[in-house]
Structure 1
Amino acid sequence: MDTKSLLVTGYRHTDLGIFSEKDPRLHIIKSAIRRNFIRFLEEGVSWFILTGQLGFEYWSLEVLEDLRAEGYQLSIATIFPFENHGEQWNEANQAKLARFKQVDFVKYAYPRYENPGQFRDYNQFLLDNTTGCYLFYDSENETNLKYLYHMVLKKEEYNRKTLTFEELNEEAENFSNSE
């Protein structure tokens, strides 16, 4: 993968029905994220770009922090869509939001939401300023992420790796076979 900056995004925790940090699926998801991130780092990725979403992005942030603690050299950016992103979240999620704000680079695309076109422009900005993406998404299980997903598919000379449910099932089988 000839990528230096990787956009990382995917399903939110609510899309997957994961509401507890103790959910057994998290171990499998994080294991797949870790395996892929190590490969990306070995291939030369140096920046991981997040958008501050709970779920896949937050789990990715946790894995990136662990990898950094293990000695991997990497940089993390969070580019939020709006300055007031997450302000309505509960206390536990506010703590997660704070972690997104403690990375190497933090910016906001807009002061606040004004119109739906901001999301299209924001997605385009993310794609224009990264050289690839790591996306946890399956077109069989559509969410609002479909808009970004279709933009990624249309972008030429843009590296992409999609984490699929099939890959997670394989990860789960490997995990259960190793026990």
Structure 2
Amino acid sequence: MYPKFTKGVFHLGNVSCITGYKSFELGIFKQDDKSVYYIKQALKKELQSLLDDGLEWVIISGQLGVELWGAEVVFDLQEDYPELKLAVLTPFISQEEKWNDQNKEYYELILSQADFVETISKEPYKNPQQFRNKNQLFLQKSHSCIILYDEEKEGSPKYFYEEAKRKKESDPSFDMRAIGFQDLQWIVEEEQW
């Protein structure tokens, strides 16, 4: 049903991954929440800057929240940058199994528009190691990452954030772009001007 991920595809070109908080961690329960607009603006700003440096692929794991909003931003940018592609690499099969129908529908819509969809672990959820494997794969395949995470508010992106910081220390060419709550506040203020 979905385009399939082929092993060689990410050896070509410039790859970035997007991750961050899940929507409920931000207290966002509706897609039309004004906060979603500002988060998308922040992601768009970073992606446009990476596109100027030759970005070709964006990878996400398909989590509700920042990752799926990032996918929507990629789809919007594809109108002006048709060479930009989105891959969804889920950490395990049926990650959406326990989601409500509205979230499942939204997820399916994103997957149906992605350029590649594949599952990293061919099993259902078993343990946190599947998330660690996903983080390692994303950091291994990416030249950059955009992460919505603020050290003042712990949450699920903490582990990825810490691993990305370690990668940045060992590989200074890795472009780590962290968006914090202050960055979002500046976007809100810019928009109000």
Normalising to structure 2: TM-score of the pair?
Answer: 0.85
Could you tell me which runs of 5 or more consecutive residues in structure 1 were left unpaired when the two chains were aligned: none
- Check if 1:104 corresponds to 2:115: yes
What pairs with 1:56-135 in structure 2 (closer than 5 Å)? 56-102=66-112, 103-110=114-121, 111-135=123-147
Moved more, 119-128 or 74-83: 119-128
Normalising to structure 1: TM-score of the pair?
Answer: 0.91
Aligned in 2, Cα 1:170/1:87: closer, same or farther, shift over 3 Å? same
1:7 to 5, 12, 17: 17
Residue deviations 1:125-166 (CA, integer Å, cap 9, x gap): 221121221100011111122111111111122221111111
- Displacement of 1:90 in angstroms is 1.3
Q: SS at the partner of 1:106?
A: strand
1:138 to 133, 150, 163: 150
Could you tell me which runs of 5 or more consecutive residues in structure 2 were left unpaired when the two chains were aligned: 1-12
- Displacement of 1:117 in angstroms is 2.2
What RMSD, in angstroms, separates the aligned Cα atoms of the two structures? Answer: 1.5
- Displacement of 1:72 in angstroms is 4.1
- Check if 1:31 corresponds to 2:44: no
Q: Percent identity among equivalent residues?
A: 33
User: Which residue of 1 is the match for residue 188 of structure 2?
Assistant: 172
User: Which residue of 2 is the match for residue 161 of structure 1?
Assistant: 177
- Displacement of 1:115 in angstroms is 2.5
